[in-house]
Amino acid sequence: MTVPPPARLRDLRIAPDEPARLKSLAETGLLDSPAEEGFDRITRLAQKLFGVSAASVALIGEDRQFLKSVVGDLEVNAPREVSFCTHTILTPHTLVVEDAQQDERFSNNPLVLGQPNIRFYAGQPLQGPGGHNIGTLCIIDQEPRTFTEEQKQVLHDLAAIAQREINVRTDLKNGAKIQQAHLPGSAPSLPGYDISAYCRPAGELSGDFYDWHVISGRFRFTLADVMGKGTGPAILTATVRAGLRATAALDPAAALTAVSEELLTNLARSESFVTAFHAELDPATGTVRYSDAGHGLAHHVTGDGAITRLPTSNAPLGIMAGMQWHTRGITLNHGDSLIIPSDGVLELLHEDLDDLAAALKQLTTSTDIPADLNRMAIGSGSPSDDVTVLILRRT
């Protein structure tokens, strides 16, 4: 049998808001992303509930269909011009094709005349940011069938679950952009010093943060870790950062004390706490005055390679009311470095403090922190905690 060519894409009805629709799809970050259990659970359930050969979450790009999740024998990528879902995204309603061979829109479609021999199709639109239809939850089968109003409602309800998955991921992606924008940009110019930092969230959002700024000739810098992952800790990182910036006139210990008291209620409600290393450098003398709130991982590396782990001043922020911290001091001589990693770096090294010290020595000459951290992580798998490090070198 000769299979007729598919309709050309220009012959399909394209929504007038197509540029905005494609932008909405891009904002989700889902196109060409790997399979995720949240979506796969929905397509498995759809296939089983309706007793069909295949179910999928399909996304419609500019010229192709991408299956974010699929159960059954379907190609992950297919030309948009042959996609049934291309028609579904043009309507706010469920599209049902009870017998594709009897439907003039699809009777000559290669997916009907050849593999996977679609006869029945039902799809419910899914939206991206702004309410644009970016894809569908759909089911197909090789036998024609009727589709009742009750079944339409079940498909609609399953699509609502898939829509929630899209919304959550989009919100996390947008939150990550905002959070990344709040990290300081390029380090300030401090003659005689090199300053570098790196932050890699374990997920979309990070409970770690670093910050720095220059005030009255002093270089103020922080690395902090809010316990936990996800939206709650990410919100708290912004609050802690703002609090420490607002207390820049205080010495490091007094700043930690003030922020802890201010955040005590919020931290208690979220059952969280914050470890922090907060310090200021006098560039002229190399003196660093610091206070460590339960962080305990900052290391001073001298020019000859000797390394010392700096002690904490007290417990993390938010543990209880009335706690106070103390300010200590060290001096960075020429060739010395101060390295403050988060506990995610320690996790990369299987919680071994000796290995951490050896690895941090190597970072004192690092010109590519991400590459060096990746080398540390060989054999560790994907980190389950955020990985952050701040390095101050006196050159």
Please state the separation of Cα 205 from the chain's center in Å: 5
* pLDDT recorded at residue 381: 54
Tell whether the model's pLDDT for residue 129 goes beyond 70.
yes
Tell whether the model's pLDDT for residue 3 goes beyond 50.
no
Nearest to 277 by CA among 375, 188, 197: 197
Give dist(CA 343, CA 87) in Å, integer: 50
Tokens of 8: 């050309």
Span 24-38, average pLDDT = 92
Between 29 and 185, residue with greater pLDDT: 29
Give dist(CA 90, CA 311) in Å, integer: 63
Mean pLDDT across the chain, nearest whole number? 87
Please write the tens of the pLDDT for every residue from 226-266. 886 667 677 788 888 889 999 989 999 999 999 988 888 77
| Beta bridge mates, 212 | 221
* pLDDT recorded at residue 7: 42
* Highest CATH level, class, for 9-177: alpha beta
User: Which amino acid appears at position 15 of this protein?
Assistant: A
What is the SS3 assignment for 274?
A: strand
Listed by start position, the domains of the chain span 9-177, 183-394
* pLDDT recorded at residue 383: 58
* pLDDT recorded at residue 270: 65
Tell whether the model's pLDDT for residue 161 goes beyond 60.
yes
User: Which amino acid appears at position 183 of this protein?
Assistant: L
Question: Which single residue is written with the structure tokens 């952009």?
Answer: 177
Give dist(CA 57, CA 10) in Å, integer: 24
Dihedral sign from CA coordinates of 283, 279, 341, 170: negative
Phi-psi region of 322 (alpha: psi -120 to 50; beta: other; left: phi over 0): left
Query: Does CATH number 3.30.565.10 belong to domain 183-394?
Result: no
Contact by Cβ (8 Å): 263, 239: yes
pTM as predicted: 0.66
Q: How confident is the model at residue 37 (pLDDT cuts 50, 70, 90)?
A: very high
Nearest to 240 by CA among 215, 228, 254, 222: 222
* pLDDT recorded at residue 188: 86
Please write the tens of the pLDDT for every residue from 206-226. 778 899 999 889 999 999 998
Contact by Cβ (8 Å): 65, 78: yes
Tell whether the model's pLDDT for residue 171 goes beyond 90.
no
* pLDDT recorded at residue 345: 86
Give dist(CA 262, CA 207) in Å, integer: 19
Span 32-53, average pLDDT = 95
Tell whether the model's pLDDT for residue 22 goes beyond 80.
yes
Percent of the chain with pLDDT over 90: 60
| Beta bridge mates, 324 | none
Contact by Cβ (8 Å): 190, 280: no
Give dist(CA 91, CA 387) in Å, integer: 44
User: Which run of H or E residues covers position 155?
Assistant: helix 149-182
Q: How confident is the model at residue 10 (pLDDT cuts 50, 70, 90)?
A: very low
